[in-house]
Amino acid sequence: MPDDLDATAFAASVDLTGSADDDNARCWHDGDRSTAADLDGDWFSRWNGGTDPTIPGDTNDKWKHGAAKLRMTDDRIYLLFTWGDGRRIGLIDARRNGARNLAGKYINLTAPEIVRPWAGLIVDTNRIDGRWTNGRLDFRR
């Protein structure tokens, strides 16, 4: 799935620079900042650019926050994440393209008919900047 034409084309069209003024550069969660040496483990997630009909008053510009777990296997990264107080679950299945770039798909596991391309940039072991077709889908520690 992360190797399909939609995912590859979308990733090529996305410009993630990892800059200090990126929306994901400042810490936006209440947890402790990790000093993990690798990417595997617990993360925080957030996304925008779409509405979730199960969240009263939700709009495209509002961030949906949750928890995430990242696992790496060879050149693949899997990010399982929640939002809506853990009631909703998503999965990113991405392929590493070099040391920092990621290309793959987001799958809404609560509504599996929702599948969208996703691109990410590993800024460091505490920050992954990400985009899906309608907005951001970022991860922080």
pLDDT in tens, 45-57: 999 999 999 999 9
Q: By the 8 A CB rule, do 121 and 101 touch?
A: yes
Token pair for 42: 């617990």
Amino acid type, 83: W
Query: Each residue of 95-110: pLDDT tens digit?
Result: 999 999 999 999 999 9
Give the per-residue pLDDT at 132: 97
Residue 3 confidence (pLDDT):
74
H/E stretch holding 81: strand 76-83
Does residue 1 surpass a pLDDT of 70? no
Instruction: Report the phi/psi class of residue 40: left, alpha or beta, with left for phi > 0 and alpha for psi in -120 to 50.
Output: beta
> Which CA distances in Å does 127 have to 43, 91, 118?
9, 17, 16
* Residue 92, pLDDT above cutoff 70: yes
